[in-house]
Structures are given as C-alpha cells and as structure tokens.
Structure 1
Amino acid sequence: MPLRISDYKSFFYIGCTLTYFKSSSGKDSFKFLTKYLATFSGEDSYVIGEAKEEAVRAVIEFVKAPDTFWCDLLDMPAVGQLEKDAKYALVYQLLKIFLTQRLDAYLEFQAANSTLMKSYGLVHEDCITKMRLMSLVDLGSNESGQIPYALIKDALRINDDEVELWIVKAITAKLIDCKMDQMNQVVIVSRCTERIFGQHQWHSLRLKLATWRGNVASLISTIQANKVVEEGSQAMQGMAIR
C-alpha cells in the first residue's frame, strides 16, 4: 500500500522532533524540518498553520548553521505564511535578508530587532560572519565574473588587509572558485554558489547552456572541417606519388 502524504508528514515530524533534542545533530534536524515543511503544498491556511512553529524553527536553524548557505525555504508555502503573520513576520524578513540581501541589510535589521535576535539565541558576531560570506557570494554572481577588492571591502565592511582573508574563507567553504589578481586588485570568479535558485537563476543557467552548446557545436564543426582538409591533403599526396 503506497504511503499517503499524511504518513510522510508524520515520519518527518517525528524525525525533526527527535533530532531537535540532540544538540549535535543540527544538520539532521534542519534536514527533517525542510522535508516536513515541503509536504505542505496546496492545503488550506488552517492545515498549513499547523506547521507555523516548525517553519520558524527551520528559519532560525538555517540562520544559525555556520556552514549552510543555501536552502529552498522561501519556496515553501509553510514558510511563506510567516510573511504576513503578526508574530513571525520579522522571522520571515530575516530569512529573506540571509538569502537575497547583503550585510548592510542585516546590520540594519539587527539594530532595530536586537531583542528578537537574542530571544531566538542568535549570536550577532556569528550572523555577521555568515552574512559576510553570503554577501561575497552575492557579489560573485555578477555577470562580469569580476569583483574589485574595493567593492568587497565596502560590502563586507572590512579593512583592506582582510579582503583576501575573506576570499580564502569563501573558497574554503566551497562557495566560490576564483583567482585573486593582486596586481589589478580584482577577483576573477569561475564558479559561484547560488543562495536561491529561482527564475533568474534558471534564465542564467539556460544562457550558459546555450553558450556551451554553441561552443561545442563550433568545436565539432572545426574538427570536421580540419578532418576534411586533412583527408583531402592525404588524397592529393597519394595521387602525386602514383
């Protein structure tokens, strides 16, 4: 007998409840939470409302996680309901900042909501560290593929001598692949992790695939043309020998 949606809900709810009480299993708890929240799709507001507390917990766990820089919580109706909730609207706003904005937006939010941050056990210094890395990722998503050192300094609010340190941190966290051009004071980005994967990211991916396909087609045409020339040259040489 196939499992029903309610069975999946129960399974993932039990999983996130059990892992919640294990301090060393933050990743497991977040994994179960996201799977549980993903089971709420298309239900009425009353049913989705049952997951409100878990949605808040998922947001807070994502913000706290020092090595988690991507999630699809913004796409989930169970999380989306927080946006217009009188009690939890600020939690949703915090999630949007971490997934779509930069350090300056976080600092502005924290200055106005420091009590709220503390009530959820969020450490300001840890949040700054994570937002600096996520801001660097956002800078790296620029279509030009280059980030001036000065822009990194301003966006991350750091000193000149800290720029390369934060670039190395982002590389170590596997957020970006890049080269540092110290002479020209720019970072040349070859790959950058997406914080979210929405319509803009799909469009960018389609463009890259189209470019890649065009390059491959051009390469194949060049190889075939060279092969024809080579075969013709060999045929001419054969005729000359005769």
Structure 2
Amino acid sequence: MVMNRWLDLTSLMLTSADIVFSNSKVSEKDLECIFTVICNLITTSRSPDEELEMAKLICAKIIQQPSDKPALRLRILFNLYNLLDNAYCRFYVFMKTLNLAISGKVTEHVIPSFKKIDSFLKEWNLEVQDQRELFLSVANALKDSKSSAKDSFKFLTKYLATFSDEDTYKMGEAKEEAVRTIIEFVKAPDMFQCDLLDMPAVGQLEKDAKYALVYQLLKIFLTQRLDAYLEFQAANSALLKSYGLVHEDCIAKMRLMSLVDLASHESGRIPYALIKDILRIDDDEVELWVVKALTAKLIDCKMDQLNQVVLVSSCTERVFGKQQWQALSTKLRTWRGNIESVINTIQANKITEDGSQAVQGMMIR
C-alpha cells in the first residue's frame, strides 16, 4: 500500500479470499463484504490499463466456480461494474457477468439489464467484433426463457446484421447462428415478419452444402404459400424433425402466412373459395382462419358473408426490404399530393368566398 502497488495487493487479497470462499462456515453476507473491500481497490488504479488488469483478476476469481453460490457471485460482479470508470472495462465485466449467469443458470438476474443495451452501446463505443460478442451472449442468455423468445430472436438478428458482404472471411463463423435464427423464426407461433433474407450472413446459406435446405425453408415461409411448404416437408421430413420443428405447427403458421400473401396480392378482395383452396381447409373453417389472422393483427378486414368474400383494408408485410420501402415512399408521395390538392382547393374556395362576401358588402352600401 505504501508503494501504491494496488494490482499486486489485489492479487494477494484474492488468494486469501479463495480460502474464505471455500469455507462453508462463512456467511454469504460476510463473503459479499470481503469482496466489496477487494473490489473497492479498483478505485485506486492510476490508469485505464491498470483498472482493466485489476478487473480481470477479480473476475477470474469470481467466475472460477459458477455453480457455487452463483447469485452471490453475480452481486459481486455488479458491484464491481458500478465502481468502474473506464468504458471498455465496464464492457469486459458485463460480459463476464453474462457468461457467469449462463454457466450458473441464473440468467433471470441479468435479463432486466438487457433493456439498457442500447444505452450501454453508446457508452461503451464498441468495435464490431465486441458488438457481435455482446449480441450473441445476450441471445444465449435469453435462449432458454420461453417468455423471452422474441428478445432472443431480436439479439440474434442484431448479431447477424453486423456482418456485411465485405466480411466474407469472417462470415463463416455466423453460419450456425444464422441457422439457429431461421429455426427460431419458423418455430415462433407469433412471429410473421423478419428481414433475414436481406442479411449477407443468412444469404451465405443459400449455396452452402450443409444448410441450403434451411435457407430454402426460410424463403418458403417469407415468400411462398402452404403448397410450397407441404412439398418441401414431403421431401425433407427428417430434416425438419432434426431441428425440432413440428409439422402441424408449421402448417398452422404457413396458413396464416399464406392468408397474408393472399391479402397483399388479391386487390383487397379475397373469395372464400380461394382461401379454402390455398389454405387447404373446409368451407366452415374459412372464417375461423380469417379471425385468427385478425387476432394476430396480420390483416385488417371485414367478412362479407352474403357474397362470400373477405374485404381487406390493410395487411402486414412478411418481409420489409428495399422493395417495400420503395412502395411505402410511393404511397407517401401520393398521399402528400392528395393533401396538397385538397389544401389548394380549400384555399381557392376561401378566396372565392371572401371575394363574393366583399362584393355583397359593396352592394348593400
């Protein structure tokens, strides 16, 4: 302490703390107090590099046995995180916290912090490689939580989005995650839209000997109808089972996807008979599937039972890429032109009306 060798002191104290951690007679409260003292040594660091080295020493000791008192170990790491000044050092400790939570199976303690990831990214100012590591670790932490399936998918897509065409030599490392993301999308009963087809990390699967069929499955779910899926399933049933996909669930999802496709291509008027044929259902099931699509907010429509047609006013796009942005831009320009026309008409009528009133006033005088 006299020589300001704080890094060496941290190392010595951690060696002794190891003995205390293995002593079953020491309470968790005392353990937390001991490590609070050790973690506070980091405030004495004289440079960002020394701060990082001290953080590495503490983290290495804490994560050694993730299954032993994992919740306590997480609390110690969170305390350490809050004492840090250096942005990259905070990122390093956060990643160790994530890994500990996954290994110790206590991810419920870190999931609330994921809501702040966007602000963390601004604070940490990470390189692309570090962003990839972060997004993938967060997705892994959320993987086994059924209530967080959408969030897991969101972070997987963030991970895949970090790869560009220029990353050809690195994109190979994303193949398995790209497949995992596709399977998560196909499995999810409440996800009907994604931009995976536009991502280079996913596109590389199209010509991959091992994963080409998985890419084809994604393309069917996003651009084709039920008949294409049934044909694919007949030829690749073993593949679907190997990924844990349930045929009946896939049919149900593809029926909704097919109904959305009909809504976007049939000029807003879909005959019941066409829905029956495309969805391969009985006459009395047509309205049931339309209601399911309405409930899922995939389409906005009315059912004309007298004329046996569904009148669609709007529908969700299964993909939203360059083509959809262009279509939206065209619609906005049209609406803007219509509004300008209405405004011009109102102004012209107002001028005419004001002129008429002035003339009438002169005649009265």
Confirm or deny a common fold (TM above 0.5): yes
The answer to whether the aligner puts 1:40 opposite 2:163 as a matched pair is yes
Q: Does 1:177 align with 2:300?
A: yes
Q: Matches of 1:187 and 1:208 in 2, distance apart?
A: 23
Q: How many residue pairs are counted as aligned between the two chains?
A: 242
Q: For residue 269 of structure 2, what is the aligned residue in structure 1?
A: 146
Give the secondary structure class of the aligned counterpart of 2:253.
helix
Larger helix proportion, structure 1 or 2? 2
Q: Distance in 1 between matches of 2:359 and 2:266?
A: 49
Q: SS at the partner of 1:50?
A: helix
Q: Secondary structure at the match of 1:147?
A: strand
Asked whether 1:122 is paired with 2:245, we answer yes
Q: Which has the higher contact order (CA 8 A, sep 6+)?
A: 1
* More displaced 10-residue stretch of structure 1: 52-61 or 206-215: 206-215
SS at match of 2:260: helix
State the Cα RMSD in Å.
1.5
Cα offset, 1:24, TM superposition? 3.8
Q: CA deviation at 1:42?
A: 3.0
Q: Which residue of structure 2 aligns with residue 2 of structure 1? A: 125
Q: Say which one has the larger Rg.
A: 2
State the partner residue of 1:73.
196
1:163 aligns with 2:252: no
**Mapping of residues 1-242 of structure 1, within 5 Å:** 2-142=125-265, 144-242=267-365
> Counterpart of 1:81 in structure 2: which amino acid?
Q
Shift of 1:146: 1.5
Q: SS of 1:233's equivalent?
A: helix
**Contact kept in structure 1, 2:220 and 2:228, CA below 8 Å:** yes
Between the aligned residues of both structures, percent identity stands at 76
Bigger shift: residues 54-63 or 207-216 = 207-216
Give ranges in structure 2 of 5+ residues lacking alignment: 1-123
Give distance in 1, aligned partners of 2:308 and 2:358. Answer: 54
Shift of 1:147: 1.3
Pairwise CA distance, 1:197:
1.8
* TM-score normalised by the chain length of structure 2: 0.64
The superposition leaves residues 58-106 of structure 1 with CA deviations (integer Å, 9 ceiling, x where unpaired) of 0000000000000111111111111111111100000000000000000
Residue 15 of structure 1 aligns with an amino acid whose one-letter code is V
Q: After the TM superposition, which of the residue ranges 68-77 and 221-230 deviates more from structure 2?
A: 221-230
Once residues 218 and 45 of structure 1 are traced to their aligned partners in structure 2, the CA distance between those partners, rounded to angstroms, is 50
Distance of 2:125 and 2:323 partners within structure 1: 36
- Once residues 289 and 176 of structure 2 are traced to their aligned partners in structure 1, the CA distance between those partners, rounded to angstroms, is 35
CA deviations 1:164-209 (Å, max 9, x no partner) are 1111111110111111122222222111100012343233223322
Q: 1:79 to 1:189 in 2, by over 3 A?
A: same
Amino acid at match of 2:190: D
DSSP 3-state at the match of 1:197: coil
Query: What's the offset of the Cα at 1:23?
Result: 4.0
- Gap runs ≥5 in structure 1: none
CA distance in 2 between partners of 1:17 and 1:206 (Å):
37
